[in-house]
Amino acid sequence: MNLKLKSEFGTLKAVLMHRPGNEIDRLTPYNIEQYLFEDMPYLEVMQREHDEFRSLIKGATGATVFRLMDLLIDVLIDDNLILDSFKFALQDAKLEHLAEDIIPRLSTAECANALIAGIKVGELRKKLKSPHLLDLPEHSFVISPNPNTYFMRDPAAVVQTGVISCQMKFPSRKRESYIMRMIFDNHPVFKENYKLQYPPAPVDPNGNYPTIEGGDIIVLSEKALAIGNSERTDAASILQIAQMVLRSDEVERVYEVFLPHKRNFMHLDTVFTIIDENLVVTYPDAMQAVLETRIHRKKGVDELGNVIIETEVLHKSILSILENEIEHLEVIKCGGDNPDYASREQWYDGANVFAIGPRRVISYNRNIHTNRALRDAGVEVLRIPSSELSRGLGGPRCMTMALDRVEF
């Protein structure tokens, strides 16, 4: 596996997904804000929708679909990795010292499930008699759940030069990055085949790096990378990534695209998605807004071998940037030409389709006006049910981490 991507639309060869599990049933009206949800999905239906999504990808492309839980179980066979991962997961409750007592009482699969779905005091008391648990409320979490894990786009991103291991903005998602980094570093399918682009070495033992999330990272063209400066991605991380990817000739330009710090502009891929070499689907309001964009280029190399960056600031719309980068650009508007439909369907990620090949996309069935506009432009639209998957406010691209595509 190459673990490098030259485009967002080449025919899919390998992808990573996570089937929603018990972590979704941990959501309540009292904690959904903490876990970055605005509603509580119905897990059984959500799983059926996700199963159909995964089957559609395999049937339409023949791509290898890796499942996160399977990969996690594989790496947790290592005694050191399972101990380190439980100590990390128990940090928030300040119960790291319980890791060695908990692990022998759970199977490897149960350990993997606990790292994603969490574990409550009452559940742990059934397996572990410990004085450290006596004064804790029955329904409090010893390990908190990660209900956002099915949004596999965010914890890492594969770009032209390798893999960016992301650093999540909010505490409730930081373990997702930890798990993904552990898999890339240690799983035999990946560990010999990837080049880490972020975070920089030496590793900070506390993981204190500027934040970046994979939904803000888009392979704009073979030689250009776009990264959204958003509520979840910091300018400092973008500059560090630019210094890494510009070391080689594989990337010549890194665009830093400023986004409003609003929920409906959470990531850059909620604003536009590239579905062919000259075709994008966009949210019109955001595309026309004039915000600052910075272009980072390689100016030279200092005596220590570090890339010296030159930065050009442009006060142009995102659409203007795309027109400068992509020849003969064609734009499909989310919601068609109706602004009401555009705002409704952008809320449910109409512009966040998943390209499985040139002009072949998977889209939520609920975004009927966007889907019609795509078909009118000659795009093959494969629809998936979305009554529950969409409640987390993420689309088909959000739920997939593309690992390998056919190069052009």
CATH assignment of the domain containing 176: 3.75.10.10
Q: Is residue 199 part of a domain?
A: yes
| 125 and 224 belong to one structural domain | no
Place of tokens 């005596």: 303
Q: Is residue 1 part of a domain?
A: no
| 205 and 289 belong to one structural domain | yes
Task: With a cut of 90, say whether residue 309 has pLDDT above it.
Answer: yes
b/e code 118-139 from CB counts within 10 Å (16+ = b) = bbbbebbeeebeeeebeebeee
| 227 and 274 belong to one structural domain | yes
Helix (H, G, I), strand (E, B), or coil: what is residue 353?
coil
pLDDT digit string, tens, across residues 52-63: 999 999 999 999
Residues 285, 243: contact at Cβ < 8 Å?
A: no
Q: Which domain holds residue 97?
A: 72-143
Which residue is catalytic, options 111, 166, 334, 398? 398
Q: What is the mean pLDDT of residues 164-185?
A: 95
Q: How confident is the model at residue 260 (pLDDT cuts 50, 70, 90)?
A: confident
d(CA 291, CA 285): 12
Residues 224, 5: contact at Cβ < 8 Å?
A: no
Task: With a cut of 70, say whether residue 185 has pLDDT above it.
Answer: yes
d(CA 23, CA 326): 41
Task: With a cut of 70, say whether residue 184 has pLDDT above it.
Answer: yes
Three-state SS for the chain is: CCCCCCCCCCCEEEEEECCCCCCHHHCCCCCCCCCCCCCCCCHHHHHHHHHHHHHHHHHHHCCEEEEHHHHHHHHCCCHHHHHHHHHHHCCCCCCHHHHHHHHHHCCHHHHHHHHHHCEEHHHHHCCCCCHHHCCCCCCCEEECCCHHHHCCCCCEEEECCEEEECECCCHHHHHHHHHHHHHHHHCCCCCCCCCEEECCCCCCCCCCCCCECHHHEEEEECCEEEEEECCCCCHHHHHHHHHHHCCCCCCCEEEEEECCCCHHHCCHHHCEEEEECCEEEECHHHHHCEEEEEEEEEEEECCCCCEEEEEEEEEEEHHHHHHHHCCCCEEEECCCCCHHHHHHHHHCCCCCCEEEECCEEEEECCCHHHHHHHHHCCCEEEEECCCCHHHHCCCCCCCCEEEEECCC
Look up the pTM and report it: 0.95
| 61 and 183 belong to one structural domain | yes
Which pair of structure tokens corresponds to residue 398?
């959000």
Chain mean pLDDT for the chain: 93
| 129 and 236 belong to one structural domain | no
Q: Is residue 28 part of a domain?
A: yes
Which pLDDT belongs to residue 303?
85
CA-closest candidate to residue 109, choices 17, 22, 181:
22
Number of domains the chain contains: 2
Which pair of structure tokens corresponds to residue 344?
């409704």
Residue 327 is classified by DSSP as T
Residue with more model confidence, 304 or 20: 20
Q: How confident is the model at residue 207 (pLDDT cuts 50, 70, 90)?
A: low
Task: With a cut of 70, say whether residue 49 has pLDDT above it.
Answer: yes
How many of the other CB atoms lie within 10 Å of CB of 93?
16
d(CA 223, CA 160): 8
| 107 and 163 belong to one structural domain | no
| 151 and 136 belong to one structural domain | no
**Stated length of the chain:** 408
| 387 and 280 belong to one structural domain | yes
Q: Is residue 272 part of a domain?
A: yes
| 79 and 182 belong to one structural domain | no
Lowest-confidence pick of 8-17, 193-202, 240-249, 323-332 = 193-202
| 52 and 130 belong to one structural domain | no
Strand ranges of the sheet holding 354-357, from the earlier edge strand across to the other edge: 354-357, 360-364, 380-384
pLDDT digit string, tens, across residues 87-98: 999 999 999 999
| Residue where a domain terminates, one of 143, 170, 193 | 143
Establish whether 398 is a catalytic residue: yes
| 259 and 153 belong to one structural domain | yes
CA-closest candidate to residue 281, choices 316, 321, 322:
322
134's CB contacts (< 8 A; 6+ apart) are none
Q: Is residue 400 part of a domain?
A: yes
| Residue where a domain terminates, one of 127, 143, 159 | 143
Task: With a cut of 70, say whether residue 42 has pLDDT above it.
Answer: yes
| Residue where a domain terminates, one of 90, 125, 143 | 143
Phi/psi at 113 (5° precision) = -65, -40
Task: With a cut of 70, say whether residue 203 has pLDDT above it.
Answer: no
Q: Is residue 7 part of a domain?
A: no
Residues 152, 17: contact at Cβ < 8 Å?
A: yes
Task: With a cut of 90, say whether residue 318 has pLDDT above it.
Answer: no
How many of the other CB atoms lie within 10 Å of CB of 379?
21
How many of the other CB atoms lie within 10 Å of CB of 243?
19
Q: Is residue 209 part of a domain?
A: yes
